Structure 1
Amino acid sequence: MSQNPAFDQIGKQYDESFVERDEQIAEGAWLISQLTPPARVLDLGVGSGLPTARQLLDAGVEVVGVDESAVMLSLAERQAPGGRYLHRDLRDIADLGEFDAAVAFFSFIMLPRRDITPLLSQLRGQLRGPKLLQIAMVLGDFDELPIVFMGAPTAVTAYPPDELAHVVERAGFEVLDLREVEAEAERNRLEVQIYLRAKGT
């Protein structure tokens, strides 16, 4: 299993750091509006369970959350009870069955580009019904760039919006919406985030 020591170290600080999550909450609300419970959603990089897993669970949606950080999963179990939370590599999903939708909010950032396209193709094969996909990334153009995030060293990946759309389309999806928003990700640090909605073809 690929480990994520950065998020084991960051833990609860992750939730406390976020100043603006309005856009992610709006994305969760849109997804709920597209689903008919008991729908099944895969939350890739579920983290602490906030806000998305809890939002979906509160709406009667079944959530399977995958994360590489045991510390974050422990938080998810407390903060978003009722989900099925799995400590495993984000790329290890083949045995999880079918889903009506998959969400990856700021989790693909932690993967190298070479692994994102195969993962998207795998996801496409496991989607049923509405076959919805939502991705949030940070705007950029780099692959496994070493950074320090909240005091923890890690490496991050980002795409320009058009390139992200092409990657998603090549994996068998139709892009429904692609937006850039500016958000205060940490106190006094603004970043541009990309939110993408897609549907399996």
Structure 2
Amino acid sequence: MEKGERKNVYKVYNKIGRWFAENRYADAVEQAYLNDILKNLPPDAKVLDVGCGDGKPILEYFIKHNIDVLGVDASEQMIGLAKNNFPVTRFLLKDMRKLNLNEKYDVIIAWHSFFHLPADDQPDMFRIFKQHLKPNGILLFTSGTERGEVWGINDGENLFHASLNTTEYQNLLQSNQFEVLKHKVNDPDCGGANVWMAQYKP
């Protein structure tokens, strides 16, 4: 029996976006990783936040440090919230699987967004990430640790997550010319997230 929206999870966020924004954890658990990235950014750096949601806290972090950031999300409700939160920041309503921007970035972040894609859609995202990164650019994303699907209830709606296994991610990164800088499994200082930080080395 179908549990809910599997292919286009952003449609669920169109229903629960406001609730999600109000109930998202308040602690900046990602900050240690963001601080690492910030230390190595050039003065004119550009950051792409893929699956930016309402912009808090990741996009907000870079704005506070005067970094040029573009927020992308496929949910109209989330983009609307983000524009209200950060009216002078650039946002794009777009499915990350269809990204084809004529820009390259120093950093791409897909934090707690990439894992909403079905497993079959995830491998090609590494080509898209590569396409939008400058040489030596940084990719930061979260994933699961084993191949499979997980459903969670958010505001009464089924929310889909999928993952490949760790070896598959390592192979995808390597075949797309990424070097893994950090990989923390169930990071206790980061809400138990499975975090990847990789550098594009063409």
TM-score normalized by the length of structure 2:
0.84
* Cα deviation code 1:129-165 (max 9, x no counterpart): 431100023444314x454333212321124444433
| Aligned Cα root-mean-square deviation (Å) | 2.3
Q: What is aligned with 2:106?
A: 100
| Matches for 1:45-124 after TM superposition, within 5 Å | 45-124=51-130
* Cα deviation code 1:6-62 (max 9, x no counterpart): 111221322333336433122222221121232111111000101111111111211
Over the matched positions of the two proteins, sequence identity in percent amounts to 22
Q: What is aligned with 2:43?
A: 37
- Secondary structure (helix, strand or coil) at the match of 1:63 reads strand
Structure 2 gap segments, 5+ residues each: 1-7
2:29–2:190 Cα contact (<8 Å) kept: no
Amino acid at match of 1:200: Y
Q: In the alignment, does 2:14 pair up with 1:8?
A: yes
Amino acid at match of 2:196: L
Amino acid at match of 1:134: L
1:49–1:79 Cα contact (<8 Å) kept: yes
Matches of 1:103 and 1:92, distance apart in 2: 16
2:46–2:69 Cα contact (<8 Å) kept: yes
Which of 11-20 and 66-75 deviates more? 11-20
Cα distance change of structure 1 residues 120 and 21 upon mapping to structure 2, 3 Å threshold: farther
| Matches for 1:133-172 after TM superposition, within 5 Å | 133-143=139-149, 145-172=150-177
Alpha-carbon deviation of 1:104? 0.3
2:9–2:116 Cα contact (<8 Å) kept: no
Matches of 2:108 and 2:184, distance apart in 1: 18
- Secondary structure (helix, strand or coil) at the match of 1:48 reads coil
1:64–1:84 Cα contact (<8 Å) kept: yes
Q: What is aligned with 1:189?
A: none
Structure 1 gap segments, 5+ residues each: 186-191
Cα distance change of structure 1 residues 59 and 81 upon mapping to structure 2, 3 Å threshold: farther
Q: What is aligned with 2:183?
A: 178
Q: How many residues align?
A: 193
1:176–1:198 Cα contact (<8 Å) kept: yes
Alpha-carbon deviation of 1:198? 0.4
TM-score normalized by the length of structure 1:
0.84
